[in-house]
Amino acid sequence: MDGAGRAGVVIAGAGQSGFQAAFSLRTEGYDGPITLIGDEPHIPYQRPPLSKDFMAGKMDPDSLPLRPESFYEAQRIELRMGERIEAIETAGRAVVLASGERLPFDSLILATGARNRRLTVPGAELPGVCYLRSVDEAVAIQERLEAARRVVIIGGGFIGLEMAAIAAAQGREVVVVEAQSRVMPRVVAPVISAFFQETHEARGVRFAFNAAVTELRGAASVEFAHLSDGSMYAAELVVVGIGVVPNMELAARAGLEVGNGIRVDEYLETGAPGIYAIGDCAWHPNRFAGGLARIESVQNGVDQARCVAATIAGKRAPYDAVPWFWTDQFDLKLQMAGLSSGFDEVVVRGEAASRRFSVFYFREGKLLAVDSINRPGDHLVARKLLVAGVEITGAEAGDPGFDLKTAAASRT
Amino acid sequence: MSFFSKKPKETVSVTYVSHNGAVREVAVPVENTVMEGAVANNIEGIVAECGGSCMCATCHVYVDEAFLGQLEPIAENEEEMLGNTAAPRQANSRLACQLKLTKALNGLRVTTPPNQQ
């Protein structure tokens, strides 16, 4: 589509989703102006390694950017880093920056992401109480970790466990505080929670379940974490990983519908024509969730960016991608395909003792999701099964002699 | 850009050949992967959706036969991913994110397949 001479596309947010939208607009043949606006000072970079190889010091920091600076020039993508959008004029088709500058658009893509949920207990503002989302925050944690002997991690989700694995591997004393009775409670079956807990404990990580932090204390910086069960842990570093909240205030101020994120339809378009929302901030209809969902993942951001880019380039199609996620902890790679919430049957394929197995989740006999530990082949096949809606039974999933790949190919 | 390291690095030459024959020779720092070298130099044909986590099988390459013996062997995870690439697997198929560059690999030549997804 020829967009020359027009106002073009403005992308609000330069994370993985915003970057991908700009990238895919060009690969889809969109030729008009593209402006990518982000409030961090850095060119768009990958977030997953921040709690994995980058945090562990196993990655060249220069490999963090999604593309080199030269890419944007060559692709005629205008980068506006360190800038914030203050307002959207939905009728006037323009955004207004904090500086007062007004940028007109034909299409606006809101990729504003999410921000960390903050701890609000007494002492939460002490130095040494850290959060992880940006690279600057990751570097701050690295520096604290270097000098710390004891680390308390609040939240037993992906971020908390990835941080726990890195800190434990570096010889730190680590305690993970989790409000529920097992790790990753909202995303995986108990069999996987138990397996990951055992692995962490074998490497020295301790857990405080059914507990919350009630107060953090320290003089110049954090020294102690007090828990609701009356226990107390000394720590030179506290990392808080208790979830995120979507950045939707800009959309709300513009009169766009918001709820658990910015409300969009199956084309990821808001109630205002030509204004879209993608990634962590998008509250969208998702058939794998059986309703409206807001999904925080690289896959969701990337695939939604591609979908909207195709629409803007004239190839309109609804969003319909299988959700997938991954986490790396010690020598374990956990890969998740589909959304397992609401399952009524769990089938294990392989032996947990072998440290390579998959868990299949069913509801009323229908496959919902597959979580794989060190079995990437199962994961890739699961994505194919789920996207095509291929029916397999629990008995087949649990039978090591049953060939999933053949089923995926022959039953579609 | 304050934190991205600026110190000079030792590099090796890597040549990326696209399926339609376009050739690009670039310098890539030792210890970086063939995937990272492609991304940093805007090489088309390597998608690297997961950023090198051996998650997505979208950085599939065919390695020049002369270098096959000098590569780290295929690990279990990579082996499984190679069974699920978009373009057909060949005897010289590898995932670029798993190929860490060493000085011995100077002059490495890889060909990207017609499709990754």
The pLDDT score that the predictor gives to residue B1 is: 42
CB proximity under 8 Å: B 57-116 to A: 57, 76-77, 80-81, 83-84
* B52 part of contact set with chain A, CB < 8 Å: yes
The runs of H, that is alpha helices, within A313-393 are 376-388
pLDDT tens-digit profile of A74-98? 999 999 999 999 999 999 999 999 9
- Tell me the average pLDDT across A262-283: 98
* Superfamily in which the A129-240 domain is placed by CATH: FAD/NAD(P)-binding domain (3.50.50.60)
CB contact under 8 A, A61 and B29: no
Query: Sorting pLDDT into bands at 50, 70 and 90, what band is A178?
Result: very high
- Tell me the average pLDDT across A327-341: 95
The structure tokens listed for A49 are 């390694």
Q: Output the DSSP codes for A81-94.
A: ET--EEEEETTTTE
Residue B2 · residue B68 · CB < 8 Å: no
For residue A249, pLDDT beyond 90: yes
The pLDDT score that the predictor gives to residue A127 is: 98
Judging contacts by C-beta atoms under 8 Å, the chain A residues touching residue B1 are: 41-43
Helix, strand, or coil (residue A403): coil
Residue A251 · residue A159 · CB < 8 Å: no
Helix, strand, or coil (residue B24): strand
Query: Regarding beta strands A34-38 and A77-81, do their DSSP bridges make them parallel or antiparallel, or are they unpaired?
Result: parallel
CA A58 to chain centre: 21
The CATH number for A9-115+244-312, chosen from 3.40.50.150, 3.50.50.60, 3.30.70.1560, 3.40.50.9100, is 3.50.50.60
For residue A412, pLDDT beyond 90: no
Please state, in angstroms and rounded to a whole number, the distance separating the CA atoms of residues B73 and A392: 34
Residue identified by tokens 């002492």 is A123
pLDDT tens-digit profile of A35-81? 999 999 999 999 999 999 999 999 888 889 999 999 999 999 999 99
CB contact under 8 A, A298 and B32: no
Chain B's closest residue to A65, CA to CA, is B40
* B26 part of contact set with chain A, CB < 8 Å: no
- Minimum-distance CB partner of B84 among A71, A302, A377: A377
Instruction: Enumerate the CATH 3.30.390.30 domain ranges in chain A, comma separated.
Output: 331-410
Calculate how close chain B gets to A380, using CA atoms only, in Å: 7
Please state, in angstroms and rounded to a whole number, the distance separating the CA atoms of residues B94 and A225: 47
CB contact under 8 A, A66 and B39: yes
Query: Sorting pLDDT into bands at 50, 70 and 90, what band is B117?
Result: confident
Instruction: Enumerate the CATH 3.50.50.60 domain ranges in chain A, comma separated.
Output: 9-115+244-312, 129-240
For residue B34, pLDDT beyond 50: yes
Calculate how close chain B gets to A381, using CA atoms only, in Å: 8
* Residues in Cβ contact with A257 at an 8 Å cutoff, skipping those fewer than 6 apart: A263, A270, A271
Query: Regarding beta strands A173-177 and A150-154, do their DSSP bridges make them parallel or antiparallel, or are they unpaired?
Result: parallel
User: What domains are defined for chain B?
Assistant: 11-111 (3.10.20.30)
Task: Indicate the class that CATH gives domain A331-410.
Answer: alpha beta
CB contact under 8 A, B42 and A67: yes
Judging contacts by C-beta atoms under 8 Å, the chain B residues touching residue A381 are: 84
Query: Sorting pLDDT into bands at 50, 70 and 90, what band is B9?
Result: confident
CB contact under 8 A, B42 and A48: no
Please state, in angstroms and rounded to a whole number, the distance separating the CA atoms of residues A154 and A159: 10
Residue B2, Cβ neighbours under 10 Å: how many? 9
Mean pLDDT of chain A: 95
Please state, in angstroms and rounded to a whole number, the distance separating the CA atoms of residues A1 and A332: 45
For residue B48, pLDDT beyond 90: no
* A331 part of contact set with chain B, CB < 8 Å: no
Please state, in angstroms and rounded to a whole number, the distance separating the CA atoms of residues A206 and A177: 9
CB contact under 8 A, A333 and B77: yes
Chain B's closest residue to A327, CA to CA, is B53
- Cα of first residue to Cα of last residue in chain A, in angstroms, is 33
Calculate how close chain A gets to B20, using CA atoms only, in Å: 17
CB proximity under 8 Å: A 109-138 to B: 135-136
The structure tokens listed for B112 are 């990207």
The pLDDT score that the predictor gives to residue A1 is: 47
Query: Sorting pLDDT into bands at 50, 70 and 90, what band is B54?
Result: confident
pLDDT tens-digit profile of A144-166? 999 999 999 999 999 999 999 99
CB contact under 8 A, A377 and B83: yes
- Minimum-distance CB partner of A374 among B5, B57, B77: B77
- Tell me the average pLDDT across B69-87: 89
Chain B's closest residue to A69, CA to CA, is B40
For residue B97, pLDDT beyond 60: yes
- By CB atoms closer than 10 A (0-12, 13-18, 19+), residue A389 is exposed
Helix, strand, or coil (residue A135): helix
* B48 part of contact set with chain A, CB < 8 Å: no
Please state, in angstroms and rounded to a whole number, the distance separating the CA atoms of residues A332 and A344: 26
Helix, strand, or coil (residue A405): helix
Least confident piece of the model among A10-19, A95-104, B70-79: B70-79
Chain B's closest residue to A380, CA to CA, is B84
CB contact under 8 A, B3 and A377: no
**Which of A62, A370, A406 has the highest number of chain B CBs within 10 A, making it the mutation to test binding with B?**
A62
Please state, in angstroms and rounded to a whole number, the distance separating the CA atoms of residues A330 and A343: 28
Please state, in angstroms and rounded to a whole number, the distance separating the CA atoms of residues A12 and A34: 11
Calculate how close chain A gets to B109, using CA atoms only, in Å: 21
Dihedral (Cα; B3, B4, B7, B12), 10-degree rounding = 160
Least confident piece of the model among A66-70, A233-237, A357-361: A66-70
- Tell me the average pLDDT across B27-32: 94
CB contact under 8 A, B40 and A62: yes
The pLDDT score that the predictor gives to residue A3 is: 47
The pLDDT score that the predictor gives to residue A334 is: 96
